[in-house]
Amino acid sequence: MVNSKKILIAYASGVESIGRLAQVIADGIKKVDGVSVDVKRAKDVAPDDAVSADGYAFGSHSASEYMEGELKILFEELYHVRAKVSCKPVLLFVTGHGGQVNVLEYMESAVGKFNPHWIKPDVAVEGMPGEADKAKAIGMGMKLAYGARKYEYIVA
Ligand SMILES: Cc1cc2nc3c(=O)[nH]c(=O)nc-3n(C[C@H](O)[C@H](O)[C@H](O)COP(=O)(O)O)c2cc1C
């Protein structure tokens, strides 16, 4: 089948665990026919990359109980094109050593400005993802991909 929907995974990478989790979520997305995925550092995402995507996964580790700077900068850039990224499915993912919930709240507040179609539950992992975390992340990647396939239906 030709890939007709594209998901962008954008993550901030101060630590190894979050890049690893991004790749596992991408593995889940790839299991769904008709959906492709780009995995990028947040600092390498141009607003046009985001506008052309049909769904998103945004990830950060907990950095002093907040999202890492490069992801915050991306969210601020996307605010200017929010009408073109709104209503699309969004999954959030975090790693940390106890600060995951705080980071998720900040990310949810920032992304909420885009009026997303949330794909829940968030993926929150303690340190490096273990086997159970990976299984959940793959499942949530698949759920995000199915959400992107239904995108016209969601916004109709
Ligand atoms: C600069 C920095 C600040 C951090 N601040 C927090 C924090 O406030 N709360 C927390 O739970 N973890 C914090 N961490 C821990 C990271 O989130 C943790 O390293 C990561 O989730 C585990 O991945 P790793 O095993 O690849 O390091 C911090 C890490 C770094 C590098």
pLDDT at 32: 96
Q: Which of 7, 25, 6, 8 is nearest to 95 (CA)?
A: 25
Domains in the chain, start-ordered, CATH in brackets? 9-136+146-155 (3.40.50.360)
Q: Give dist(CA 85, CA 117) in Å, integer.
A: 11
Query: Tens of pLDDT along the chain (156 residues)?
Result: 555 999 999 999 888 999 999 999 999 999 999 999 999 999 999 999 999 999 999 999 999 999 999 999 999 999 999 999 999 999 999 999 999 999 999 999 999 999 999 999 999 999 999 999 999 999 999 999 999 998 664 554
Test site for ligand 1: of 13, 70, 94, 97, most ligand atoms within 8 A of the Cβ = 97
Segment (H or E) for 39: strand 35-41
Q: How far apart are CA 132 and CA 90, in angstroms?
A: 22
Distance 59 CA to ligand 1 centre (A): 13
- Give how far Cα 101 sits from Cα of 6, 67, 118, 123, Å: 28, 11, 16, 10
Integer Cα distance of 57 and 22 in angstroms: 8
Asked whether 19 lines ligand 1 (CB < 6 A), one says no
Q: Which residues does residue 22 pair with via DSSP β-bridges, in sequence order?
A: none
Whole-number pLDDT of residue 150: 85
DSSP 114: T
Atom number of ligand 1 nearest to Cα 16: 26
Specify the DSSP class assigned to residue 3: -
